[in-house]
Chains A and B, each alone.
Chain A
């Protein structure tokens, strides 16, 4: 109690002293961003037929699914009454941006992601249901949903429907994350959040983080399995990362320049905050290390010819820096938006607990959990299909 008051500098409205949204709410836009970004990368191959990124297609989809399954958990853990969260489906308040979360989430999970993955894996699942033994066979039989027709014609239909699903999937992914940006961008009481650029900044940073994640995951899984990294694939993804990052950075700079130039009533307060309490996370981590560095690295290999080995190193490094930078960006939005008083007269600090309900430990668990789920998914549905028998063995 004392620590809450002593953290305050200047004047805050009394009820503001306690931070409302913790590190778990930082995770929520970070995780959904990874989902949207990974999916959009996968869709590139499908809709625009970019053959080069094909090796990551299934991995990207499974990554999106693994993170999407975890996305609601930090929210659930944060609620004062998690047992009432289902009310958002039963009695949604139509004017609330947050009330739409459940519907956007379900739409994305059920209609887009699960359906697309199922269609893409249908043949593999049928073959696995026939070839595997024991309880695993039962699992695959269930996953077929009773459909064993993998004739040429049926697969062609799958392909066409899958293409169509991807087509609606892209705007859905935009919706999923643009919407998360809107949750913050539409709070007029908070000048740090309230900007119409917020959804689009969130969206592009999501694409950036998703691409970086898939890039790192792909190289990591290749290394783990002793597979050859296809350089054309990572080169293409690296280029996409660079392009989207430039758009993302331009948007963020536009927001910054606009704020500095307009210098409205909140400016002095926010400026002071960025130069003091947010300095490390905003200037150092987000902008210098997490944005400028990867952009420079990725641009460097576009103009200078470097060896494959060096390129791989640069991709891993810039991918990891990007993920740190985007996480820092989410942190600066969510936590930064609560460090100053709406009276513009004072500041507080965020003290993260460790083994508390909204502390560092649950946050770490929630970050590791999607990786475990992904591991399970990759085991169950191998993205490279190496464990599946060749098509010749399949019955027509």
Chain B
């Protein structure tokens, strides 16, 4: 190899390597530093949530706290979490009447009288943090992904806004944020739970109906809860590996 050619290869090698390194550094600079969460190890956790239907009083605290905490638009049809009211007349579980005015944000005005032979209850909904998420499967660029600690996250700097994931979610948990043009959904208040806090909805729930759970933590009361309660996930036929466990879930809920 002549000296000239070697020189050229070294020069261009340096150039390619350095521009690559520089572009990574620049991207890092643009993206900003990720929030520090010292002592948090991804592989030490496996996040989930339990919801006790019997305890939910439909106050809407969770919905308000979530919108506040996560900058969810105030539009009455965009939610990371919302509460549904079920009215099952005469035990007809195939034909429940369901409503969720403003997602339960303002609580629920009394509508059904006790003693009319119906069954009434509230069902809080949120992203089910599926272990086999259909939304993650369909994202064309991998902007939404399952984190090793069991939370389904969205990289809003990478999302194209194609909305395929919104279509793929069987639970209606995703929406397009009108300001960013990218998809948004519950991330279990990831910025809080990685710092040892609980989620905004669980924190604000007055009856403790919602509980953040770490299935990898042997001391988490979730294990006792799952052992002593009959629990179910939403739409189990979808086989999404949902990790939001409902206790006292009625067959009419969908």
Contacts and interface: CB of A to CB of B under 8 A. Distances in A.
Contact of B140 (A1, A12, A101, A188): A101
B1 interface: no
Chain A contact residues: over half helix, strand or loop, or mixed? loop
B238 interface: yes
B182 interface: yes
A79 B77 contact: no
Interface in A17-58: 17-18, 20-21
B160 A81 contact: yes
Given A1-B75, A189-B168, A344-B254, A13 B138 contact: no
Contacts of A79: 160-162
A87 B158 CA distance: 8
Interface stretch (B10-18, B98-106, B194-202): B98-106
A88 B140 contact: yes
B246 to A, nearest CB: 15
B76 interface: yes
A184 B96 CA distance: 29
A84 B158 contact: yes
A12 B180 CA distance: 24
A80 B137 contact: no
B173 interface: yes
A91 B160 contact: no
Q: Which of A15, A92, A101, A187 has the most CB of B within 10 A?
A: A15
Nearest to A85: B160
B138 A98 contact: yes
B167 interface: yes
Contacts of A5: 76-77
A84 B137 CA distance: 19
Contact of A98 (B164, B166, B176): B164
Interface in A332-370: 337-338, 341-345
A21 B161 CA distance: 11
A14 interface: yes
A307 interface: no
B140 A20 contact: no
A98 B136 CA distance: 12
B208 interface: no
A11 interface: yes
B60 interface: no
Nearest to A346: B98
A14 B176 contact: no
A78 B173 CA distance: 21
A75 B238 CA distance: 28
A91 B77 CA distance: 32
Nearest to B161: A80
Q: For chain B, what secondary structure do more than half of its interface residues adopt (helix, strand, loop), or is it mixed?
A: loop
A11 B95 CA distance: 12
B18 to A, nearest CB: 20
A14 to B, nearest CB: 5
A84 B254 contact: no
Nearest to A97: B138
Q: Which of B76, B84, B167 has the most CB of A within 10 A?
A: B167
Interface in B131-188: 134, 136-142, 158-164, 166-176, 180-182
Interface in B15-42: none
A99 interface: yes
Nearest to B136: A95
Given A13-B125, A20-B163, A96-B137, A342 B171 contact: yes
Nearest to A15: B175
Contacts of B103: 14
A4 interface: yes
Contact of A14 (B78, B97, B139): B78
A1 B77 CA distance: 9
A17 B75 CA distance: 11
Nearest to B86: A11
Given A91-B141, A345-B98, A81 B168 contact: no
B122 interface: no
A20 B166 contact: yes
Nearest to B175: A15
Contacts of B141: 84, 87-88, 91-93, 96, 99
B82 interface: yes
A15 B159 contact: no
Given A15-B173, A96-B140, A343 B162 contact: no
Interface centre among B160, B163, B181 (most CB of A within 10 A): B160
Given A96-B164, A187-B168, A14 B100 contact: yes
A377 B171 CA distance: 47
A195 interface: no
A392 to B, nearest CB: 52
Given A80-B182, A88-B141, A99-B140, A20 B77 contact: no
A190 interface: yes
B72 to A, nearest CB: 11
A359 B78 CA distance: 22
A16 B99 CA distance: 14
11 contacts: A14-B76, A18-B77, A79-B162, A84-B141, A88-B160, A93-B141, A98-B162, A187-B138, A188-B238, A189-B168, A345-B254
Given A87-B160, A187-B167, A187-B168, 5 more contacts: A14-B100, A78-B162, A183-B164, A341-B172, A342-B170
8 smallest beta-carbon distances between A and B, as pairs: A80-B161, A13-B172, A80-B181, A189-B170, A99-B140, A93-B142, A11-B98, A98-B140
